[in-house]
Chain A
Amino acid sequence: MTARPRVAVFKMASCDGCQLQLLDAEDALLELAGRIEIVHFAEASSDMRPGPYDVTLVEGSVSTPEQERQVREIREASRVLVTIGACATAGGIQALRNATGRHEEFVRTVYPTPEYVRSLEDSHPIADYVPVDLELTGCPIDRDELLHAIATLLAGGTPRVPKDPVCVECKRRGIVCVVVAKGEPCLGPVTRTGCGALCPAFGRGCYGCFGPAQAPGNADALGRRFVELGLRPEEAADRFRFITGWAPAFREASERLRTGAGAGEEVDAG
């Protein structure tokens, strides 16, 4: 009999919420634990062993010089590398500091003695440094998507992750559209589902936790719609510049709203 697959979980800059999805899987975790060997999971176990690893999950963004080195070591030690969550796949909410030219001011704002702090100017997704085999987006990631991905990888398959927008899921579930009913800005048309259209189901607009859907070509049109709903262009830009704001499609939409580019172009909103 071959040895059980060795699974590792690592963390960079993050809130721990995505790896908590694994701990929150409870019974599924215990069942899974019988089929795999968890050899590195610092939040859950003091038994931390070196690689190689068959499947490695990485949560968090690369935010310090130390992590730039660590992420390369992790890749080196891992057969399959899966990044989990908005931080690991798009830099996370902490990427709101990126491209502001204000990193030094940010350090000074939070820490009285800035010279004690070592931090990179920008917060980066893992794929900026090393090849990634699978990205699971979400803030937090969806537990079922994670368990499905692990099970499929262990069976030697390629996990399929839905790429439809929240809007499609929302219609499928028959939820009342918050844009139509309440005039509330909603990122559902351009955001990947994974949450089951959670925010509209709870009476509010989607705020983009799962990042851009596969073909979010109509982001500019959506931005214009936000302006029609009464948002100032910079407020509309901030809707995109949020939890997954550093993902290229959202970053570009936000920049265009800020600079006024794209305001006059006709974009098919369908």
Chain B
Amino acid sequence: MTHRRVEVPVIARVEGEGALHITARDHEIVDLRLEIYEPPRFFEAFLRGRAYHEVPDIVPRICGICPVAYQMSAVHGLEELFGVRVPAGVRELRRLLYCGEWIESHVLHVFLLAAPDFLGYHNAIEMAKDHPELVRTALAIKRVGNDLMAVIGGREIHPVSPRVGGFSRAPRRRELEALLPRLERALEEMPRIADFVSSLERPSLPRQAELVAMVHPSEYPMNEGEMASTAGRRWTFAEYERVTRELHVEHSNALHSVIAETGTPYHTGPLARVNLNAHVLSPVARECMRRTGLLVPGDDPFLSMAARVVETAYALEEAIRLIRAYEPPDPPAAEVTPRAGSAMWATEAPRGTLYHRYDVAEDGTIVEAKIVPPTSQNLRHMEEDLRAFVPGVLDRSDEELTRLCEMVVRNYDPCISCATHFLRLDLRRL
């Protein structure tokens, strides 16, 4: 029996801080823990006592990569509670803003965070030396996503215009139309990007996972719909906290979610969305799906990168459609009168479903807040995937094993700072 101990500090290219501890004897895992040491920031606590209209400025600060998701779950929930009817065009403008975030976040993940793993680089800058044209193309697609967010929101990190009731300002048609040529060029590149992703040699992990995402009868879900799972569960946003449950485990500053009834983990994110909503994908997105070899149903987590490419194509196509049909909402926001009660809503962040609840007092003061980010919902499943995957690759070198474990984690595009919460691998071979 071999006794080895390897420490690899900090899992790189995830957003936030965490560590992975594995103890293995021969081909068996003795212990495996995904430790999240990103320090807690207590958003749910300091939201208490703040005014409802401050929420869209507070919650995006949870995550610089998906600020729009935080804003969207909050404004939709509060509007439903207050009975606000938003002006015509606000719904479409929010969807367009979300498209920008999906494009920016997915391309950041696929090219800057994940692809270097598959090609054996430490980072995208090294990768750019050997694949300059590919990296530049990817960065140009990402840039148009960022610019779309900035035109609507003022800036791509922590946009300033979204508010309860609508927007503080709606862009003019020509501001959005100016983005069309670049969006169209980006869309034309997507089949080639899909071919690139399909050419990457990837591990596989056969499993039976319960995939969870929003569904909507007529469109690919972003801001509206209800919850569904590949195990046949359906639930409304108001039932979210009854159907799922958060557990606090000693090694993690992020909470772990499970399905309450069965105590089992679930997987939310692009792979889940594609599985549950492939029938409403747009033409180029379908073409990309075919080229990446992503078939549904299919729950191999290593297909997540393909799912992000499919969704990037979708978001580009949808953005083009929305801009062509755009009529600026006038006024850009509805008047809002607060009322007491519970606001419960979820929207689809790039990395999965983001659920919020706000209990609000009559004057609009937040009494209690609950935020369940996609990464914390996925943590339990990341651990399960690692437990299933690692025994098959224990014969590899420590360096190779570390890289493979990081890839398993990275399939989820974990935003550790949003789950409160970066990774260090501590591997012990007994």
B123 at the interface (CB under 8 A from A): yes
- Report the Cα distance A66→B112, complex, angstroms: 29
Interface-side segment among A23-31, A125-133, A154-162, A217-225: A23-31
B263 at the interface (CB under 8 A from A): no
Binary flags per residue of A196-226, CB closer than 8 Å to B gives 1, else 0? 0011011110010100000000000000000
Listed A/B pairs (21) with beta-carbon separation below 8 Å: A11-B17, A15-B63, A17-B61, A17-B67, A17-B158, A27-B136, A30-B128, A42-B10, A42-B12, A43-B12, A43-B15, A46-B122, A66-B37, A93-B41, A93-B58, A110-B420, A111-B40, A198-B155, A202-B154, A204-B161, A235-B51
Across the interface, B61 reaches (CB within 8 A) one of A15, A23, A64, A107, namely A15
Task: Tell me if A20 and B124 are in contact (CB < 8 A).
Answer: no
Binary flags per residue of A1-21, CB closer than 8 Å to B gives 1, else 0? 000000000011111111011
Contacts A33-B125, A109-B45, A242-B54; A117 near B40 (Cβ below 8 A): yes
Interface residues of B in 1-39 (CB under 8 A from A): 9-10, 12-17, 37-39
Binary flags per residue of B408-430, CB closer than 8 Å to A gives 1, else 0? 00000001011010100000000
Interface-side segment among B76-84, B139-147, B201-209, B380-388: B139-147
Contacts A43-B14, A93-B61, A209-B158; A107 near B40 (Cβ below 8 A): yes
Residues of B contacting A17 in the complex (Cβ-Cβ under 8 angstroms): 61, 63-65, 67, 157-158
Q: Give the shortest distance, in Å, between A178 (CB) and chain B (any CB).
A: 9
Binary flags per residue of A104-125, CB closer than 8 Å to B gives 1, else 0? 0111011111001101000100
Task: Tell me if A201 and B154 are in contact (CB < 8 A).
Answer: yes
Residues of A contacting B63 in the complex (Cβ-Cβ under 8 angstroms): 15-17
- Report the Cα distance A225→B66, complex, angstroms: 35
Residues of A contacting B116 in the complex (Cβ-Cβ under 8 angstroms): 46
Q: Knowing that A29-B125, A110-B45 touch, tell me 7 more A-B residue pairs with CB under 8 angstroms.
A: A12-B39, A26-B143, A43-B13, A93-B41, A102-B45, A140-B155, A204-B168
Q: Give the shortest distance, in Å, between A176 (CB) and chain B (any CB).
A: 11
Contacts A16-B64, A202-B154; A46 near B13 (Cβ below 8 A): yes
A238 at the interface (CB under 8 A from B): yes
- Report the Cα distance A139→B154, complex, angstroms: 13
A94 at the interface (CB under 8 A from B): yes
- Report the Cα distance A112→B44, complex, angstroms: 13
Contacts A20-B65, A105-B45, A202-B168; A113 near B248 (Cβ below 8 A): yes
Q: Give the shortest distance, in Å, between A100 (CB) and chain B (any CB).
A: 8
B362 at the interface (CB under 8 A from A): no
- How many residues of A sit at the interface, in one of the four size bands? 35 or more
Task: Tell me if A21 and B157 are in contact (CB < 8 A).
Answer: yes
Task: Tell me if A15 and B42 are in contact (CB < 8 A).
Answer: no
B99 at the interface (CB under 8 A from A): no
Task: Tell me if B139 and A16 are in contact (CB < 8 A).
Answer: no
Residues of B contacting A203 in the complex (Cβ-Cβ under 8 angstroms): 161, 168-169, 332
Residues of B contacting A199 in the complex (Cβ-Cβ under 8 angstroms): 154, 160, 168
Residues of A contacting B249 in the complex (Cβ-Cβ under 8 angstroms): 116
Task: Tell me if B169 and A238 are in contact (CB < 8 A).
Answer: no
Interface residues of A in 24-52 (CB under 8 A from B): 24, 26-27, 29-30, 33, 38, 41-48
B398 at the interface (CB under 8 A from A): no
Binary flags per residue of A48-62, CB closer than 8 Å to B gives 1, else 0? 100000000000000
Q: Give the shortest distance, in Å, between A29 (CB) and chain B (any CB).
A: 8
Residues of A contacting B44 in the complex (Cβ-Cβ under 8 angstroms): 109-110
Contacts A23-B108, A139-B158; A48 near B9 (Cβ below 8 A): yes
Task: Tell me if A111 and B248 are in contact (CB < 8 A).
Answer: yes
A243 at the interface (CB under 8 A from B): yes
Residues of B contacting A243 in the complex (Cβ-Cβ under 8 angstroms): 57, 61
Residues of A contacting B40 in the complex (Cβ-Cβ under 8 angstroms): 63, 107, 110-111, 117, 119
Binary flags per residue of B352-376, CB closer than 8 Å to A gives 1, else 0? 0000000000000000000000000
Residues of B contacting A105 in the complex (Cβ-Cβ under 8 angstroms): 45
Residues of B contacting A238 in the complex (Cβ-Cβ under 8 angstroms): 50-51, 54
A67 at the interface (CB under 8 A from B): yes
B48 at the interface (CB under 8 A from A): yes
B183 at the interface (CB under 8 A from A): no
Task: Tell me if A94 and B41 are in contact (CB < 8 A).
Answer: yes
A72 at the interface (CB under 8 A from B): no
Q: Give the shortest distance, in Å, between B410 (CB) and chain A (any CB).
A: 10
- The winner among A42, A102, A112, A113 for most chain B CB atoms within 10 A is A42
Q: Give the shortest distance, in Å, between B137 (CB) and chain A (any CB).
A: 11
Task: Tell me if A48 and B12 are in contact (CB < 8 A).
Answer: yes
- Report the Cα distance A140→B64, complex, angstroms: 8
A134 at the interface (CB under 8 A from B): no
B250 at the interface (CB under 8 A from A): yes
Contacts A45-B123, A112-B248; A24 near B156 (Cβ below 8 A): yes
Task: Tell me if B160 and A38 are in contact (CB < 8 A).
Answer: no
Across the interface, A42 reaches (CB within 8 A) one of B154, B163, B332, B422, namely B422
A151 at the interface (CB under 8 A from B): no
- Report the Cα distance A116→B417, complex, angstroms: 18
A163 at the interface (CB under 8 A from B): no
- Report the Cα distance A106→B57, complex, angstroms: 20
Q: Give the shortest distance, in Å, between A172 (CB) and chain B (any CB).
A: 18
Instruction: Give 7 closest A-B pairs by Cβ, nearest first.
Output: A17-B64, A45-B123, A46-B12, A47-B122, A106-B45, A96-B46, A204-B168
Residues of B contacting A140 in the complex (Cβ-Cβ under 8 angstroms): 64, 155, 157-158
- The winner among B14, B126, B136, B157 for most chain A CB atoms within 10 A is B157
B253 at the interface (CB under 8 A from A): yes
- Report the Cα distance A17→B252, complex, angstroms: 22
Q: Which residue of A lies closest to B406 (CB)?
A: A46
Interface residues of B in 153-186 (CB under 8 A from A): 154-158, 160-161, 163, 168-169
Q: Give the shortest distance, in Å, between B408 (CB) and chain A (any CB).
A: 14
Residues of A contacting B64 in the complex (Cβ-Cβ under 8 angstroms): 14-18, 20, 140
A69 at the interface (CB under 8 A from B): no
Residues of A contacting B135 in the complex (Cβ-Cβ under 8 angstroms): 30
Task: Tell me if B39 and A13 are in contact (CB < 8 A).
Answer: yes
B103 at the interface (CB under 8 A from A): no
